[in-house]
Structure formats: structure tokens, C-alpha cells
Structure 1
Amino acid sequence: MYKILEKKVLAPSIFMMKILAPRVAKAAMPGQFIILRVDEKGERIPLTVCDTDANEGSVTIVVQTIGCSTRQMEGYEAGDFFYDFVGPLGVESELISEDKDELKKLKIMFISGGVGAAPVYPQVKWLHENGIKADVIMGFKNKEMVILEEEMKSVSNNVYVATDDGSYGFKGMVTNQLQALVDEGNHYDLVVAIGPMIMMKFVCKLTEQLGIKTVVSMNPIMVDGTGMCGACRITVDGETKFACVDGPEFDGHKVNFDEALNRSTMYKAEEAVKNTETYCAAGGIK
């Protein structure tokens, strides 16, 4: 059982939880994720590690309430316990293994969409702690949905917030913001994009035109998180990869996004049934 140390609402339907999981906190690296189960009958929910505190033994996750299980999670408070909290899973960010002096020579841009800010933060924080600067574009639907802005500013060189409706920061998509920065004469050697799959697809289309190497963090349907079930398979450069063990990060210009997007809709009908109020009230996933 894993105790919830802290819970904080960040935006409508988005909340942060700090979980007591000492072994995960000690081992987790930026780019990796965990899988939790709310209770003994709960489904396995993959969530990116947003932050860790090895001394406290805590792992911070950010959750957006979308389906039955995340709605169940939303009902838990500090002092409650989750049944399972497994990790760290996946491969750490490739930046971790790069020569730090070489990274200092690069102009790095991170692009996050919505709750993608959560997995971007630990990577930018790690770079900051190692004396490496990075810029960040954070995209949201509107001002009300902005999360982790101050946290990101504390570890970034520059933070650019873009909102679809222009209610805060730059008006437009993250791709519009990136293009505007390039048009102003800014140069970038590397883009790391994390967020909704459709957002990452269009970021990659733009960066391919601009000739900027791009890394994406894939979030396909996932079940066991160990490569056994094959649910999270994607095609990268014509080869089958499993996001849970080969990723979640891949060369964005080699990912078959159309296939991945199509696979992500395979269980929409089942999800709709299981996401009804009646089903969730009856105990959720069985």
C-alpha cells in the first residue's frame, strides 16, 4: 500500500499527488513512468513521474481526470492509500546519458501540451541542476488550464506560454509559437515534445521542415508496462517498438503517427461504456 502524502488541485480536472514510494523515488530518472492501481480490482494506470524527493521518499504525479479510474483517483485525499505503485518503468531521457559539456553547447527547446508539462518539468529540472539551459513552450486551451508555470520558470532559461484562445500569453498553438520564435531569429538544435499525440505529430511536421532534431514521448494504450502484452506497440522507422520498454522517447521524425493515432481510438466504444456514471458508481473497472 502506498500512502498519499499530499494532494493539490492545479486546474479544473487536473490534480497533483505526492506518493510515499521510497524505492521508486530513489531509482526514478527523468523520462520514466510508473503504473498504479487504485485498489485491488483497479485497472493499471500509467503516469509519468513529475518529480521525486529521495530524502522524503516521495514521487510526484500529475493526473488529468478523463475516465472512470482517474475519477476514482480524484476522490482520494492525503492520508489515503493506493494499492499498487510500480516503477520506475521505461527508459530514461536520452539527455541523461549525453556528455554535459556537449549539451551546454546546444540550444534546446521543450514543448509541452496540457499535462505534458508534468513530464517536461523533471527533464528541464535535471538540465538546470547540471548547468544546462533550456527554453520551454507550454501550450494550453486557455488561461484556466495553465499548470506548473512557476515551477517551470524556476528551472528554465525562457518559458513561453501559448493558449488556443489567447486568454493568456501567446495566442495560438505551440507550433505557431515555435514558428514565431524561429522567425524572430532564434535557432534550436533540439526539440523535445511531450503532450497529446496529435500535438506531437504537428510539432514533428514543423521541425522536420525546419531541420531540427526532435524527440517525442509516446503515450499509446498500455497494459502491463513490461513489453509482454504488446498493447503499446508503435512503428518507428519501419520497425515495431514497445513504448513501455523501448521508450517512451523516440525520434519524432521516424514515428508513424497516423498508425499510432488510429490505434489510440480502438477502444473508444468500450471506454464510453465504462466511463458512464452508473458504471463508475458500481465500482469501476472489473
Structure 2
Amino acid sequence: MFEILEKTMLNPTIAKIVIKAPRIAKAALPGQFLIIRADEKGERIPLTISDSDPVKSTVTVVIQLIGASSHTMVEKFEAGDSYANVVGPLGNPSDFVHMSPEELKKHRYVFIAGGLGTAPVYPQAKWLYERGVAVDVIIGARMKELLIYTEELGSVCDNLYLCTDDGSVGFKGVGTAKLEALAAEGKTYTRCVAIGPMIMMKFATLTCQKLNIPIMVSMNSLMVDGTGMCGACRVSVGGQTKFSCVDGPEFDGALIDWNEAMRRSRQYQPEEAASMERYGK
């Protein structure tokens, strides 16, 4: 059993859960994920690690209320309760963790974060910032009330840019438009990482290709089983079939077949809708 130490609602549909998991906390690296099962009859859910603290023996995940399982994990569990299983860290860490200090210092990173994808950007930006790497972060949401992790990310980057579709705070427009505006102002970046909705990552890739910035994207939203057994997270990368869970979850955005990936991201919508009907939502 894995005790929930904290549960915080970041907005009406997104919760931050801090879990006691000493061994996972010691081993976790940016970009990796966990498999969590709420109870003995629960579904196994892959969730990207949003923070880890080996001193406090904790790992943090952020859960969006979408399907029956995510509703169960958030609505039926409070601090002091325990999840049945937490397995990890799984997947490959972000590619920059393998770079030498000398190579890292040559780069200037920009992160484009959208929606729920904002949370897993935090451990990546923090890891780089703590090692003296230049980091800028762009966070996008439809409106001010839906922005998350603004304080956390503001503390681990050189510049934080907020974007809202309705202009309620920061730049009015999407994150990719902000990146283009920064480039027009003379800002230069050697690497980009985009995490968020599939359509956002697709257009982040197109924007970075136009600006000649290499980009990595996270395909964690395609994962189901999380161990390479089910094949649901297949994605074409440079003409080769890869599994997001065992080969990723991060890939070179310029090599991804985005039309295929977006189709795959919708493949279980009928089952999810039926599950929510049974759940009573």
C-alpha cells in the first residue's frame, strides 16, 4: 500500500497527489512515469512523475478528471488513504540527463507546456535549472483559472511566460505563437520540449521546424498498459514503430507521424464514455 500524504485540487478538474514511495523517489528521473492502481479492482493508470523528493521519500503525480478511473483516484481517496499499487519509475528519462555538464551548458532550453502537461515539465525544468542550464518556460491554457504550476515553474526557470486564449492573463494566444513572438524579439533557443495536448505538440513541432529548433515531445497520453504488452501506445517515429511506454515516452517531434498519433489518441473514446456512464457521471 502507498499512502497519500497530500491531495490538492489545482483547479476544478486537476488534482495534485503526493504519495509516499521511498524507493521510487530515490530512483526517479525527469520524463519517467508511474503505473498506479487505486484499489484491488482498479485499472492500471500510467501517470508521468510531476516531482520527486528522495529526502522526503515522496513522488508527486497530477491527475485530470477524465474517465471513471481518474474520478475514483481523486474523488474516493484523501490524504491518509492509500493506493493499492504504485510501480515505477518506468520509461526512459529525458535525453538531457545523459548529457555531460559541459554539453548541457551549451544549450538554452524552452519548454512549451499545455494543460495537464504543465506538471511534468516541472521536474525537467528543475533538473536543468539546478545544473545552471538556461531555461525559459511557456505555459498555455484557455483561461487564467486553468493555469497550473505557475509558482513552481517560475522558481526553476529564467523566464516564465503565461499564455491564455482569452487574454485573461499574460500573452493572448497559444504557446506556439508566444514562441514565435520571442524569436521575433531576438530570443534564441537550442532545444525545445513540448508536453501537452496532442494537437498542441503537433503545432509546437511545426513551429520549431520553422524556427530550426530541435524539439522533443512526450507521448505519454497514448499509454494504457505501460509495459509494452498491449501495443496501444504504438507511434511511428522516423518510419519505425515505437512503443511510447518502453521506447519513450519522449521522442523527436520532427520524426513523429502526427496524423497517426492523433488518431490513436482517440481510439478508446467510446469505451471511456461507456465507463463514465457506468460510473454515474
TM-score of the alignment, normalized to the shorter chain, above 0.5: yes
Question: In the alignment, which residue of structure 1 is the partner of 2:35?
Answer: 35
Aligned to 1:264: 265
- Map 1:111-130; keep pairs closer than 5 Å: 111-130=112-131
- Equivalent positions of 1:167-186 (< 5 A) are 167-186=168-187
In structure 2, the residue matched to 1:48 is 48
1:198, 1:42 → 2: CA distance? Answer: 30
TM-score, scaled to structure 1: 0.95
C-alpha displacement at 1:108, in angstroms?
A: 1.0
> Conserved in 1, the CA contact under 8 Å of 2:25 and 2:58?
yes
Q: Which residue of 1 aligns with 2:95?
A: 94
Residue number in structure 1 paired with 2:200: 199
SS at match of 1:35: strand
Aligned partners of 2:45 and 2:225 also within 8 Å: no
**Which position in structure 1 is the counterpart of 2:279?**
280
Residue 224 of structure 1 and its aligned partner are, at CA, apart by 2.4
Report the equivalent of 1:57.
57
Q: Which stretches in structure 1 are left out of the alignment for 5+ residues?
A: none
Whole-angstrom CA distance in 2 between matches of 1:15 and 1:215: 26
**Other structure's SS at 1:162 match:** strand
**CA–CA distance in structure 1, aligned partners of residues 98 and 31 of structure 2:** 12
Secondary structure of 2:181's partner? helix
Q: Deviations over 1:46-89 (max 9, x none)?
A: 11101111122110111111111111112211001111111000
Letter in 2 for 1:254: L
Distance, in Å, in 2 between the alignment partners of 1:169 and 1:25 is 34
Residues 220 and 260 in structure 1, CA contact (< 8 A), matched pair in contact too: no
2:82 aligned residue? 81
TM-score by length of 2: 0.97
Secondary structure of the 1:69 match is helix
Question: Is residue 250 of structure 2 the alignment partner of residue 249 of structure 1?
Answer: yes
Number of residue pairs the alignment of both structures matches: 280
Match of 1:9 in 2: 9
Q: Which amino acid aligns with 1:272?
A: A
For 1:53 and 1:212, the matched residues in 2 are separated by 32
Quote the offset at 1:23 in angstroms: 1.0
Aligned-pair identity in percent equals 54
Give, in angstroms, the shift of residue 220 of structure 1.
4.0
Q: Structure 2: how far apart are the matches of 1:222 and 1:192?
A: 19
- Is contact 2:108–2:133 with CA below 8 Å preserved after alignment? no
Contact kept, 8 Å, 2:48 with 2:220, in 1: the verdict is no
| Aligned amino acid, residue 33 of structure 1 | F
Q: Which residue of 2 aligns with 1:106?
A: 107
Q: CA separation in 2, counterparts of 1:235 and 1:62?
A: 27
Whether the aligned pair in 1 keeps the contact of 2:222 and 2:244 (CA below 8 Å) is no
Listed one character per residue, the Cα deviations across residues 65-119 of structure 1 (whole Å, up to 9, x for unaligned) are: 1111111112211001111111000000101011222221212101100111111
Moved more, 53-62 or 89-98: 53-62
SS at match of 2:23: helix
Is the counterpart of residue 164 in structure 1 residue 165 in structure 2?
Answer: yes
Following the alignment from structure 2 to structure 1, what is the Cα–Cα distance between the partners of residues 121 and 222?
20
Q: Distance in 2 between matches of 1:179 and 1:86?
A: 39
Alignment partner, residue 18 of structure 2: 18
- TM superposition shift of 1:185: 1.1
Q: Any idea what the Cα deviations from partners look like across 1:158-188, whole Å, max 9, x if unmatched? A: 0001011111110001111011101111111
Q: Secondary structure at the match of 2:259?
A: helix
Q: Secondary structure at the match of 1:272?
A: helix
- What is the rounded CA distance, in whole Å, between the counterparts of 2:209 and 2:237 in structure 1? 15
Q: Gapped runs of 5+ residues in structure 2? A: none
Q: CA deviation at 1:139?
A: 0.6
Partner of 2:154: 153
Give how far 1:19 is off. Answer: 0.3
Moved more, 238-247 or 99-108: 99-108
Deviates more, 1:205-214 or 1:99-108: 99-108
Tell me if structure 1 keeps the 8 A contact 2:129–2:156.
Answer: yes
Q: How much is the aligned-residue C-alpha RMSD, in angstroms?
A: 1.2
Instruction: Measure the CA separation in 2 of the matches of 1:94 and 1:183.
Output: 28
